[in-house]
Amino acid sequence: MSPKLRRRVGVLSIAVFVVAVGAIVFFVHRRWWQAPRFPQSGNLETRDDWQPFGGAWQFLNGAMLNNSDERGAKLMNGNPSVSNYMIEADVQLLGQYGDAGLIIRANNEEVGVDAYNGYYAGLRDLDNTLILGHAGFGWIEYQRNRVVPRVVAQQWYHIKLLAYECNIVASATSLTGEITIDAVRLPDCVKSGRFGLKSYQTGGLWRNVRVRPASRADLLAIAGTAEIPGPTPMTKVGPLGDPTNDANEQYFEPLYLDMRAHHVDSGGLPISNLVALAPDKPTPVAIHGVVTLTHPSLFVQDSTGGVEIQSFDAKTPPQIGDQVEAKGVAEPHEFSAIMTNAEVHSLWAHAPLHAMTITASQAATGAFDGQYIELEGHLQRKEQAADGTVVFDLDEDNQSFQVVTNVSSGVTPLRGIKEQSRLRLRGICVVGSQYTHDLTPFAILLPSVNDVAVLQGPPWWNTRNIVVAIIACLLAVLIAQAFQNYMERSRFAAVLDERHRLAQEMHDTLAQSFAGIGFQLQAIRDEVDDRAAMHREIEMASTLVRRSHEEAKRNIAALRPELLESVGLLTALEESARSMVAGGNIRVIATSSGEPGRIPIRISDTLFRIGQEALANAVRHSSPTLLKITLTYGGNFLELTVEDNGKGFLIDSQSLGFGIRGMRKRADNISADLQIRSTPGVGTSVQAVAPVPVSLTRLTSLWHSLLEHRFNGQGKRKEADTAADRR
């Protein structure tokens, strides 16, 4: 590998290391040390970090709606490391016999009743109270204060819930301005956690959700006093129906009022009979059933079938799981009926609701139109519209169908489901073209995102992964081929460089010596009659032979760079210069400056050859009386200067012979800067400045030190062993 390539690789490695370290520092800073940030506004429609645990959550008309009566449905958000803060929102209960409110400092949330560790405050219509307590996978109620005048469904209340140190304070404000407060100071409390929305056995609406840091001033503003009492045991409620128990009266009153308000006459047609009505003739009917879906239409189902109610009036919006009576106009269709202009009355809540397990082929027959079913399928494609509607395309039993759910984009976890996964779905089977768009025989309307379960992830051998693997293999083969070609070119270039160097060495040494020998032998032939002259020529030829032998020895030494390394570059140049001027009157001066260090053998050998050529040119052509060799060691460079005080010459293109071109070629091989300055009558200066990587020099020095220590230690051990054997 050439020095330029090594430098580039080194710079690239350092850059990659710096980028990696910077990324790690940034990640750590963002992940662990960033201060918690509070959302100043609960824009429920656009936030993507709400996480549901049960319930059927969707954003509707500027508010977050949970139309499920599931026990303990939660919608969570926030940073678990946040400690002192306050959450407030407008809250409305949709049904009877339950509660809805806010959660603060929650951790370890799961699906289930009170399946989290944190604090909850909410309005409960069963006893007309504002409740405050701790849910730690079990419910501990600290306080409940009666709301004046009373908790009424379908009415907005503004709830605040504050946590400051171990003080937990809640307040509820009615539309008429009455304020109810619960406050408790705990000896040991949950220090930090997330916030959320929660309902229990009823649906709810939340709007204008706001979260902000809390201070002691906020605590005093809500609680009204700094002396907040500790938790006290709640009074046990006696048997229902005991007229002397005030708590019993609170419980009994909503039950009685609700039963009286929703008392209706018994009767009603089975839903399956609606299909048998006269076609093209709307017929007034009454049916009883359980609500299975509330959006985009109301679906009601009994033991015989299901019906879609497209337009209706209701004093209390029905929720999923409510037993209702519907009176309206029925229009029979091919597989089911549709009701319009209906009056819907809630009879009672929490009716059992079970899905019928069928196959995709059975659903395609239309026999289960409008019914709550469960089936499985493989996800082929998913899309999400701007209004939050998520559409899945699934296949099962050579049958294609779609799954549609109208949930807020801010709370849906469906985007994390991968294609080719096997899913289990529970929803309403519909065959109308307004849902299928005539693309599939049926579609499934999901009540909530919790009605989707991933049974099995996508196989790794799917088309996308196979294509990616093939492309990766092709890229690996191409990279390997390119690397092999690069190595071949590098080896070929190294061979060419070595051939050029050997040619240069032969020209500078052996070729010239052999030319001299040939010239002397020719002179011997011409002077064969003159014995004295022949003797002189033979002697000169012998001298040239000896010099050629010395040059050959030097060439062999150059091919064995450890010899040059053992004596040092400056000493080698000085000895070479003195051998050239031996017996003459030319003085040689060799000096060095800087801190000597380990120089790579390639650089020292090249500089030695450049200096040797400069000395030879000075001796042959310049007739100097002084040769000066200077070697300067810098931090990251090595400078060699060869000067003489000879005749000098004019530097032009014609004066650049093979020797000077050879020096320039050698300098280029080590990325050195070569400068030749000459003035006629003054002398010539040849300067070569070669870059030396600092790290490479230090690593080489350390390596040699380790080797010397190892070899010296081995030598000493051998000497000790030999001395011991002699004894």
Give pLDDT tens digits for 89-136. Answer: 999 998 777 899 999 999 999 988 889 999 999 999 878 899 999 998
CA distance 360 to 431: 12
Q: Determine which helix (DSSP H) or strand (DSSP E) holds 364, and give its type and residue range.
A: helix 360-364
Per-residue DSSP letter, 271: G
The DSSP element (H or E) to which 288 belongs, if any, is strand 283-293
Share of the chain above pLDDT 70, in %: 74
631/415: higher pLDDT: 631
Comparing 161 with 717, which gets the higher pLDDT?
161
User: Mean of the pLDDT values across residues 583-611?
Assistant: 85
Q: What is the pLDDT of residue 321?
A: 83
> In 10 A of CB 421, how many CB atoms?
18
- Please state the φ and ψ torsions of residue 100, each to the nearest 5 degrees: -150, 145
Of 350, 77, 91, 342, which Cα lies nearest the Cα of 201?
350
Residue showing tokens 């609606």: 274
What is the reported pTM?
Answer: 0.47
Higher pLDDT, 470 or 547: 470
pLDDT of 360 over the 80 cut: yes
- pLDDT value of residue 354: 79
pLDDT at 630: 95
E-assigned strand segments in 315-451: 323-332, 337-348, 356-357, 372-384, 389-396, 399-406, 422-430, 443-445
Report the pLDDT value the prediction gives residue 122, as an integer from 0 to 100.
96
Q: At how many degrees (to 10) do helices 601-617 and 531-559 cross?
A: 160
Name the pLDDT band for 370 (thresholds 50, 70, 90): very high
What's the pLDDT at 596? 81
pLDDT at site 173: 95
**Rounded to whole angstroms, how far apart are CA atoms 680 and 692?**
34
pLDDT given at position 648: 87
Q: How confident is the model at residue 684 (pLDDT cuts 50, 70, 90)?
A: very high
Assess whether pLDDT exceeds 50 at residue 249: no
Position 25 confidence tier, pLDDT thresholds 50, 70, 90: low
Residue 650 has pLDDT above 80, yes or no: yes
pLDDT at 570 over 70: yes
pLDDT above 50: residue 518: yes
Average pLDDT, the chain: 79
pLDDT of residue 245: 41
More confident residue, 509 or 456: 456
- Whole-number Å distance between alpha carbons of 177 and 433: 50
Q: Which of 229-233, 422-426, 583-587 has the lowest mean pLDDT?
A: 229-233
**Confidence label for 523 from pLDDT (cuts 50, 70 and 90):** low
**pLDDT of 297 over the 60 cut:** yes
Q: Say which residue, 656 or 635, is predicted with more confidence.
A: 635
Checking if the pLDDT of 20 tops 90, the result is no
Token representation of residue 145: 């204060």
Return the pLDDT at 655: 58
